[in-house]
Amino acid sequence: MTKKTYRILFTLILGLTVLNHLWFITRSPWDWDEPVYTNIANQAMLRGYPAFQIHSQKLDYYAFNPPVHIYLLANWFRVFRPSIQTGRGLSTIIATATVAMAMITMRVMSKSARASLLTGLMLAVDGWFAYSSLLVKFDTMSIFIGMIGILVVALALRRDSLSLALGAGMIIGFATVYKHVAGLFIIAFVLHWIFARKNSRFYVSVLSGAGIIILAYIGIMLLTVGEPFVNATAVQFRRTFGLQEARGLQYGVGQILNALLQTYWAFAGSILLAVAGSVCMFYQGFRLWRNRSAELSLIVSWGLAAAGALAAIKLRNPFYLGFLIVPVTMLAMRQIDLWLDSERRWVTNLAASLLTLLIALNLETFLIRTTEFSKVNALQETQHELRNLPENVHIISEEPICALIQQPCYPIGNNQSLDEIEKIKPEYIVIYTSVTQEVPQHGAIAALVAQSDQIWEVTGWKEHIILYRTPYNR
């Protein structure tokens, strides 16, 4: 393949990525976090610091997520009108940059133009990556930054450069403070060190660079934010590891399988790719453990670290799957690339068939997202319904719904006791449910729902939202 041909195909794949995102900017229903992050970034733009603005809440510093992406989104909103749709525009740029970085990384590590292009093509059409990377979230940007770190580490290994290793570690550290789950990139380098069994000075340099950035971040946040940062960080860690209740994130294996069968079946191509890529990853990981070479050892280590981290936190957030999907896609596409050069006809046919099947399944996902999943934007419908209520009524609901309305709204997570409910005297309560998030079964909220009258409901592709009139409004 000539350089010119590669560049043309590279550009076309990026164009396909952009189109696959732009098509859904207004069509894809809003997700749980999007109203919240849009609200926080808008307040950062207006006030100079992240804050969650709802009628009933004091505007304290919002420290439950690292602030870097919030400030990036806030500056984006200075140029464009603050909204979920314009936030998705920024996400489209980030997703496209991530696909480009995946192709560049694969080209540098494998020296195969075809493997590079296959990786980009599969990420461009992959249903789950296209969906999750469109949303107003932090994850894709941290994957992009972490992948830059991996590429720089690969270059540092080739040149045996400790200074370049230190710089790569600082990039990885920045990915970690951008989104804390990206700390799995640090785990990846520890794994790679274990596999290598040599060159300890190099890996110490990488980890030192990451440590410098992380410690600097903690110091800056302690000095500038203080106690809210400490408390919010502790809450997030407890939620992540299941030590504290987090609505929608407390589920087991049975509920995950149920969600796959009832809701996420439409992403069959992504599931097949994740399984196939994981097989390649574990095989290559076994080779590395047996002290054998693996061409994409850094990518294998990344994938294993992601798989281990997601298992440890019991996949509390399905959007963290992006940290696994990208490396296993790279590994699967490199394997298909090698099979296409096989002298055995059945092997090349198998590779071509698997590639065709993956593209066909992801095309089916595209059609399902366009038709079935785009029929009802449940959160937007709820926003319209609640705006018809009087301005002075008090509502208890989830954070994303509170972020969308003007009436006094009290998040369920902060107002669950009987005393708090008696103090608020809410005329309405709005309950958000999904396969992994049920109506509260116990406590004051459950009792309030049991005594209330259902007056409106809406069902989206993965959520069911019900509006109740409470006894305080009779």
The string of DSSP codes covering 262-314 is: HTGGGGHHHHHHHHHHHHHHHHHHHHHHTT---TTHHHHHHHHHHHHHHHHTT
**Residue 132 token pair:** 């999750």
Q: Per residue in 194-227, is it b (16+ CB within 10 Å) or e — as a string?
A: ebbeeeeebbbbbbebbbebbeebeeebeeebee
Q: In what order do the strands lie in the sheet with 428-434?
A: 409-411, 395-397, 428-434, 463-469, 453-459
Rounded distance between C-alpha atoms, residue 239 and residue 231, angstroms: 12
Instruction: Report yes or no: 415 and 381 within 8 Å, Cβ to Cβ.
Output: no
- Dihedral angle, C-alpha 401, 403, 405, 407, nearest 10 °: 100
List Cα–Cα distances, 106 to 7, 95, 331, 336, 408, in angstroms.
Answer: 14, 17, 9, 13, 51
- Nearest Cα neighbor of 92 from 84, 82, 104 is 84
How confident is the chain (474 residues) per 10-residue block, as mean pLDDT? 91 97 95 93 91 75 88 94 94 97 95 95 95 94 96 92 93 94 93 87 93 94 86 73 54 52 78 92 89 83 92 74 93 94 89 94 94 92 92 91 90 79 91 77 82 92 91 82
Radius of gyration of the chain (CA): 23
Rounded distance between C-alpha atoms, residue 383 and residue 146, angstroms: 36
- Nearest Cα neighbor of 316 from 215, 399, 236, 400 is 236
What is the pLDDT at residue 442? 62
Give 459's strand partners.
464
CB atoms within 10 A of CB 273: 27
What is the pLDDT at residue 54? 80
H helix or E strand, kind and range, residue 44: helix 33-47
What is the pLDDT at residue 68? 93
Rounded distance between C-alpha atoms, residue 415 and residue 420, angstroms: 6
- Nearest Cα neighbor of 210 from 161, 245, 244, 176 is 176
List Cα–Cα distances, 232 to 237, 240, 317, in angstroms.
Answer: 9, 12, 18
Instruction: Report yes or no: 321 and 310 within 8 Å, Cβ to Cβ.
Output: yes
Beta strands in 329-373 (DSSP E): none
Rounded distance between C-alpha atoms, residue 380 and residue 435, angstroms: 20
What is the pLDDT at residue 458? 94
What is the pLDDT at residue 265? 78
List Cα–Cα distances, 288 to 39, 203, 291, in angstroms.
Answer: 46, 17, 5
**Residue 157 token pair:** 């290994």
Beta strands in 283-406 (DSSP E): 395-397
Q: In this structure, is the dihedral angle defined by the CA atoms of residues 119, 123, 127 and 129, taken in order, positive or negative?
A: positive
List Cα–Cα distances, 400 to 54, 227, 238, in angstroms.
Answer: 10, 25, 21
C-alpha atoms less than 13 angstroms from C-alpha of 313 in its C-beta half-sphere: 25
Rounded distance between C-alpha atoms, residue 129 and residue 102, angstroms: 13
CB atoms within 10 A of CB 391: 10
